[in-house]
């Protein structure tokens, strides 16, 4: 692949990922109460697609930096790894948004009423947010 072709494909994937991510934003503000299941599924699927395209962009961006200035390969690798880490946490959140932990509700470990915001408390995954937040905050 030539350098100009690599730059072109990297730019296209970056723009496509940006446009897809921006089309996802209005889906969060359509409903005043709890969103329907199809809306949550759409947000998750759009997020997964944009994250996948963003991975391709990050790898291409690293290659563009390495081809332009080989002495900055360390910085390009840091950008790639940082982006992949951010996408990993983002995909965990998207996966949590698409999974309804009925077993936890039945056992009584978490209840949606324990969360302060009524909009968040009525969401299908309200009970997993404290669990995910506590585990991630311990790691960070």
Indicate if 130 and 75 belong to the same structural domain: no
The better pLDDT of the pair 61, 134 is held by 61
Which residues, including other chains, have CB under 8 Å from residue 80's CB and lie 6 or more apart? 58, 59, 61, 62
Indicate if 21 and 62 belong to the same structural domain: yes
Indicate if 84 and 109 belong to the same structural domain: no
Indicate if 126 and 83 belong to the same structural domain: no
Binned at pLDDT 50, 70 and 90, residue 136 comes out as very low
Indicate if 133 and 83 belong to the same structural domain: no
- pTM flag (> 0.75): no
Q: Which domain holds residue 121?
A: 102-140
Quote the number of domains for the chain.
Answer: 2
Indicate if 82 and 21 belong to the same structural domain: yes
Between CA 140 and CA 135 the distance in angstroms is: 9
Q: Over 50: is that where the pLDDT of 3 sits?
A: yes
Q: What is the pLDDT of residue 30?
A: 86
Indicate if 75 and 138 belong to the same structural domain: no
Indicate if 20 and 62 belong to the same structural domain: yes
Q: Is 114 helix (H, G, I), strand (E, B) or coil?
A: helix
pLDDT tens for each residue of 4-23: 999 999 999 999 999 998 99
Indicate if 90 and 124 belong to the same structural domain: no
pLDDT tens for each residue of 8-67: 999 999 999 999 989 988 888 888 887 787 888 888 888 889 999 999 999 999 999 999
Indicate if 13 and 82 belong to the same structural domain: yes
Binned at pLDDT 50, 70 and 90, residue 124 comes out as low
Q: Following DSSP, what letter does each residue of 42-79 receive, concatenated? A: HHHHHHHHHHHHHHHHHHHHHHHHHHH-GGGHHHHHHH
Indicate if 74 and 92 belong to the same structural domain: yes
């Amino acid at each position: 692949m030539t350098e100009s072709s690599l730059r072109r494909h990297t730019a296209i994937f970056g723009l496509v990922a940006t446009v897809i991510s921006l089309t996802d934003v209005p889906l969060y503000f359509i409903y005043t109460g709890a969103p329907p299941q199809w809306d949550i599924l759409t947000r998750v699927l759009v997020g997964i697609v944009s994250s996948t395209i963003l991975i391709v962009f990050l790898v291409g961006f690293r290659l563009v930096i390495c081809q332009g200035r080989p002495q900055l390969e360390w910085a390009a690798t840091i950008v790639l790894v940082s982006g992949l880490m951010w996408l990993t946490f983002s995909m965990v959140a998207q996966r949590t948004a698409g999974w309804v932990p009925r077993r936890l509700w039945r056992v009584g470990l978490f209840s949606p009423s324990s969360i302060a915001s009524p909009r968040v408390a009525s969401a299908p995954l309200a009970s997993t947010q404290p669990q995910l937040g506590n585990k991630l905050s311990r790691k960070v």
